[in-house]
Amino acid sequence: MRRLALVVLLAVAPLGVGGIVAAVMTSDYRMRRLTAFVDPYSDPEGTGYHMIQSLVAVANGAGAGRGLGFGLQKFGYLPEDRTDLLFAVICEELG
């Protein structure tokens, strides 16, 4: 039974992957997001800004963090610090 499920999954997976690739390739917005994910420094003041600032926040946290409430990136550098980039804020403050 498990083998049949694996065979069906492997038979259908290329269709899903092909659909995702087609959706990304036909949308300029999705291509920019993917490029920013792979290389945020290709456009550091545009599409890569959020990724770079989140990486800075994680790096500033180091091992032990700055302390709860003492993170600096949340003060204007991370635009969505309470929703999208909460992980980066937690890493900066708590390590």
Mean pLDDT value across residues 44-50: 88
With a CB cutoff of 8 Å and minimum separation 6, the contacts of 56 are: 73, 77
Cα–Cα distance between 77 and 57 in angstroms, integer?
9
Mean pLDDT of 24-52: 88
The pLDDT, as a whole number, for residue 39 is 92
The span from the CA of 20 to the CA of 78, in Å, is: 29
pLDDT band at 81 (very low <50, low <70, confident <90, very high): confident
Is 94:88 a contact under the CB 8 Å cutoff?
Answer: no
1 pLDDT higher than 80: no
pLDDT for 18: 93
* 80 three-state secondary structure: coil
Q: What is the pLDDT of residue 78?
A: 81
pTM above 0.75, yes or no: no
